[in-house]
Amino acid sequence: MSPRTRRSLALFSPLAFALTFGAYAGDLPAPPPHPTASATADAAPSTPAFEAARARMQTGMSTPYTGDADLDFVRAMVPHHQGAMEMARIVLENGADPALRQRAKAMLERDQAELDWLEGWLVKHGQR
């Protein structure tokens, strides 16, 4: 086999595989649904608090893009850090592991500093 033929086969092999076996992927059964929470998790007061924090963070991060990478980054990072702070508070209110509670407190302080900086950037750039 010539080097050119080998090179062509090497380039097209992944494509041929995907085209051949990808056609059968639609025939595979769907995986079983993943439960969102166990009975124990449903009973824990932290579960609805985490779910609400995550929903607020995801909604906040779903702002339309402006085309300005700097602004888009900062606008997404504000709710990201707010969500992280909210989750840290949930651990401080409900968590039992002393080391994790200490880490959550440190993260809360660090994320507040990040949030303050990001908010300042928005003000400086006329976005607040």
Structural domain includes residue 45: yes
The CA–CA distances, whole Å, from 46 to 18, 56, 91 equal: 43, 15, 8
Instruction: With respect to residue 16, please indicate whether it lies within any of the assigned structural domains.
Output: no
Rounded to the nearest integer, the mean pLDDT of the chain is 82
The pLDDT of residue 2 is above 90? no
C-alpha to C-alpha distance for 19 and 111, rounded to whole angstroms: 46
Residue span of the structural domain in which 93 resides = 39-124
Note whether residue 28 is domain-resident. Answer: no
The structural domain count of the chain equals 1
For the cut 60, the answer to whether the pLDDT of residue 14 exceeds it is no
Average pLDDT over residues 7-14: 51
* Residue reference for tokens 């200490």: 102
Q: What is the pLDDT of residues 72-127, one digit of tens each?
A: 999 999 999 999 999 999 999 999 999 999 999 999 999 999 999 999 999 999 99
Q: How far apart are CA 41 and CA 39, in angstroms?
A: 5
Question: Taking the complete model, does pTM exceed 0.75, yes or no?
Answer: no
